[in-house]
Amino acid sequence: MALNPSDVLNKVASIIAQRAQTHGDYRDTFQMTADIWSAYLGTPITPVQVCVLNALQKLARDQNSEDCNPDNLDDGTGYLAIGAAIQQAKKEGG
């Protein structure tokens, strides 16, 4: 049975919730990653940029593979959703 976009988004939401149990709060993780990348690159990187860059890496993996791995698109969707949540919280002052 083919999934529709809402099914995929629900699946990705479930993955994000599961990963929080394993990796901790995404806000802390992406802020720490932004801090580390900023120090390494010598230029400021935001948590939202980390999300976008991670999504781009997933797209590159998908493009570079002969077999389409749905995990790449699911993970890319998840990274962008997390980026959107971080950006919205920032906009709202959170």
Residues 6 or more apart whose CB falls under 8 angstroms from that of 13 comprise: 81
Number of domains in the chain: 1
Distance, in Å, from the CA atom of 51 to the CA atom of 89, rounded to the nearest integer, reads 15
Write the pLDDT tens digit of every residue in 27-60.
999 999 999 999 999 999 999 999 999 999 999 9
Distance, in Å, from the CA atom of 23 to the CA atom of 43, rounded to the nearest integer, reads 26
**pLDDT at residue 89 in the model:** 94
Kindly state the helix (H) or strand (E) to which residue 14 belongs, with its residue range. Answer: helix 5-23
Kindly indicate the confidence band of residue 3, based on its pLDDT and cuts at 50, 70 and 90: confident
Q: Could you list the residue range(s) of the whole structural domain that residue 68 is in?
A: 5-91
pTM: predicted TM-score of the whole model, two decimal places: 0.88
Write the pLDDT tens digit of every residue in 54-78.
999 999 998 888 777 888 999 999 9
Decide if 52 contacts 34 (C-beta within 8 A). Answer: no
